[in-house]
């Protein structure tokens, strides 16, 4: 969330920044402009009356207690005090209304973010590896996986409906191998492994910006306990519980940066995406992901963002997957993020690059919502931390990339060398099984 005081005092500047996203992003500021004026006028009146009250109080102190003039001054002072209280209440109410609006206002993009109108304006910043040279017509992962007997979409649909998948045999083993490989690699990089709850309170969802913006995309549970005062949601990403580990805490600056890695299933309704990626593993209601989360100071925020992105890239490099890193433009960067690098992996079967990781720097946007702070060692002042996170990686999409980039003419798939200790094989081949 943006800082209330900064927004009301720099309204035009904030509006200009949000307009680089879209007119819709800046629209809520119109209401804030009128409320900010009300707040300003009430504060001016309150401060003037408070000064008048203080002067009257000093004058009254000089009068003999019990005298008629003393009594008159005391009555007048009481009215002034009540008026000051009324104005303070008015300011509090206006600020609460502004805060409610700000919950739905996205972050202001970093000035370095390229300005654009759509994902077509994203900027490729680097590539790694080369597109695989295939001397045959490449297949898409859903055909490869079904032929190998490792992906079963029909039985998943029978169980749960569309956009679910059953991983069978080597498919389940491949998923497990990827999770194990990613977590072990990230702990080598200094991340502390976390296994968080998969159900979180609405306050946690609000803290990282999923609420109210993505309420329609979340799976909200039914209250079994009528006395429960909060709603529980299935997590859309491990970012939510892991970032909120330090909600309403004051961290010691010497403990920063803090780095966590977490594997979790993730749950998304994919509201508004129907008709897109209806086949395969790209857009599922339930999927696995390894998430990286970092907490740091504003001064080291950019360096930590580069480091986190490099750690996500290292997974792709060790798997031998060709990819490119893309900086998202203002129209494409996520609502809570101020700057994002996407990693896009090449899929020969689809003949295009597809996102496999988003690595974002949120600045103090999430920290303000969740009240994640740190005490500066030199000054002892309490400041808002910066939060960062990134997928490293989305497991299903990594399986997609492996199946498509390492497919062979005979329908088999070469297993990346780093996964072979878990896979117990170097090639995935079709195996007969009972239907």
Same domain assignment for residues 167 and 204:
yes
Q: Does residue 112 belong to any structural domain of this protein?
A: no
Q: Which of 46, 77, 102 is the last residue of a domain?
A: 102
User: How far apart, in whole angstroms, are the C-alpha atoms of residue 345 and residue 324?
Assistant: 7
Q: Which of 102, 130, 161 is the last residue of a domain?
A: 102
Q: Torsion over CA of 33, 39, 41 and 42, rounded to 10 degrees? A: 160
Same domain assignment for residues 272 and 409:
yes
Q: Does residue 433 belong to any structural domain of this protein?
A: no
Least confident of 224-238, 303-317, 366-380, 409-423: 224-238
**DSSP-derived secondary structure letter, 185:** H
In order of 177, 178, 343, 369, 407, the CA distances from 184 in angstroms are 11, 10, 20, 32, 26
Same domain assignment for residues 167 and 260:
yes
User: How far apart, in whole angstroms, are the C-alpha atoms of residue 231 and residue 200?
Assistant: 8
Q: Does residue 109 belong to any structural domain of this protein?
A: no
Q: Is the pTM of this model over 0.75?
A: yes
Same domain assignment for residues 240 and 150:
yes
Same domain assignment for residues 98 and 125:
no
User: How far apart, in whole angstroms, are the C-alpha atoms of residue 210 and residue 207?
Assistant: 8
The set of catalytic residues is 268, 283, 355, 358, 397
The CATH number covering residue 272 comes to 3.30.930.10
Same domain assignment for residues 126 and 93:
no
Answer yes or no: is pLDDT of 9 > 80.
yes
Answer yes or no: is pLDDT of 256 > 80.
yes
Same domain assignment for residues 185 and 68:
no
Please count the CA atoms within 13 angstroms of the CA of 143 that sit on its side-chain side: 11
User: How far apart, in whole angstroms, are the C-alpha atoms of residue 381 and residue 372?
Assistant: 14
Same domain assignment for residues 156 and 198:
yes
- Domain count of the fold of the chain: 2
Same domain assignment for residues 357 and 215:
yes
* Long-range residue pairs from 171-176, CB within 8 A, at least 24 positions apart, any chain: 171/145, 171/399, 173/422, 173/423, 174/150, 174/399, 174/402, 174/415, 174/419, 174/423, 174/428, 175/288, 175/395, 175/396, 175/399, 176/422
Q: Does residue 221 belong to any structural domain of this protein?
A: yes
Q: Does residue 8 belong to any structural domain of this protein?
A: yes
Q: Identify the helix (H) or strand (E) that includes residue 148.
A: helix 141-148
Phi-psi map region of 264: left, alpha, beta (phi>0 left; psi -120 to 50 alpha): beta
pLDDT digits 0-9 by tens, 261-297: 999 999 999 876 666 777 899 999 999 999 999 999 9
Rg of the Cα atoms in the chain = 27
Other Cβ atoms less than 10 A from the Cβ of 328: the count is 24
Residue with tokens 């990230």: 186
The CATH number covering residue 52 comes to 1.10.287
Same domain assignment for residues 244 and 376:
yes
User: How far apart, in whole angstroms, are the C-alpha atoms of residue 191 and residue 294?
Assistant: 9
Q: Which residue has the higher pLDDT, 375 or 73?
A: 375
Residues of the chain with pLDDT > 70, as a percent, come to 96
Same domain assignment for residues 321 and 424:
yes
**DSSP-derived secondary structure letter, 222:** P
Q: Which of 102, 132, 167 is the last residue of a domain?
A: 102
Q: Does residue 370 belong to any structural domain of this protein?
A: yes
| CA proximity to 210, closest of 104, 88, 53, 117 | 104
State the distance between the two ends of the chain, measured CA to CA, in whole angstroms. Answer: 52
Structural domain for 53, as ranges: 4-102
Same domain assignment for residues 256 and 329:
yes
Query: Quick check: 35 and 98 in contact, CB under 8 A?
Result: yes
pLDDT digits 0-9 by tens, 320-371: 999 999 999 999 999 999 999 999 999 999 999 999 999 999 999 999 999 9
- At residue 66, the pLDDT reads 64
Least confident of 92-96, 106-110, 328-332: 92-96
pLDDT digits 0-9 by tens, 402-433: 999 999 999 999 999 999 999 999 999 987 54
């Amino acid at each position: 969330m943006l800082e209330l005081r900064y927004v009301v005092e720099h309204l035009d500047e904030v509006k200009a920044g949000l307009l680089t996203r879209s007119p819709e992003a800046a629209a809520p500021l119109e209401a804030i402009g009128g409320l900010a004026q009300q707040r300003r006028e009430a504060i001016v009146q309150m401060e003037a009356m408070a000064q008048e009250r203080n002067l009257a109080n000093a004058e009254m102190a000089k009068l003999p207690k019990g005298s008629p003039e003393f009594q008159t001054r005391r009555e007048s002072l009481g009215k002034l005090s009540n008026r000051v209280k009324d104005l303070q209440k008015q300011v509090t109410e206006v600020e609460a209304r502004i805060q409610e609006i700000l919950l739905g206002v996205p972050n202001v993009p970093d000035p370095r973010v390229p300005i654009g109108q759509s994902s077509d304006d994203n900027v490729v910043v680097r590539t790694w590896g080369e597109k695989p040279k295939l001397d045959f017509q490449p297949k898409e992962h859903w055909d490869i996986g079904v032929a190998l007997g490792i992906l079963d979409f029909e039985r998943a649909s029978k169980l749960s409906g569309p956009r679910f998948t059953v991983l069978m045999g080597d498919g389940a083993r491949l998923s497990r191998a990827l999770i194990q490989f990613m977590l072990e690699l990230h702990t080598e990089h200094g991340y502390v492994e976390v296994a968080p709850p998969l159900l979180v309170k609405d306050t946690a969802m609000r803290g990282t910006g999923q609420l109210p913006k993505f309420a329609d995309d979340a799976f909200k549970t039914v209250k079994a306990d009528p006395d429960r005062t909060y709603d529980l949601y299935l997590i859309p990403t491990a970012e939510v519980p892991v970032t909120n580990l330090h909600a309403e805490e004051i961290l010691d600056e010497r403990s920063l940066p803090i780095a966590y890695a977490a594997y979790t299933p993730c749950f998304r309704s994919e509201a508004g995406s129907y008709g897109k990626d209806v086949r395969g593993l790209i857009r599922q209601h339930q999927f696995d992901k390894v998430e990286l989360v970092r907490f740091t100071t504003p001064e080291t925020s950019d360096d930590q963002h580069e480091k986190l992105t490099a750690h996500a890239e290292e997974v792709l490099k060790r798997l031998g997957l060709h990819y490119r890193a893309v900086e998202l433009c203002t129209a494409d960067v996520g609502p809570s993020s101020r700057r994002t690098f996407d990693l896009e992996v090449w899929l020969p079967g689809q003949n295009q690059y597809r996102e496999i990781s988003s690595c974002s720097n949120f600045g103090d946007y999430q920290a303000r919502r969740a009240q994640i702070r740190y005490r500066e060692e030199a000054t002892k002042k309490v400041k808002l931390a910066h939060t960062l996170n990134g997928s490293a990686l989305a497991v299903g999409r990594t399986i997609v990339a492996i199946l498509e980039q390492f497919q062979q003419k005979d329908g088999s798939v070469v297993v990346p060398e780093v996964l072979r200790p878990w896979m117990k094989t170097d090639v995935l081949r079709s195996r007969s099984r009972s239907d």
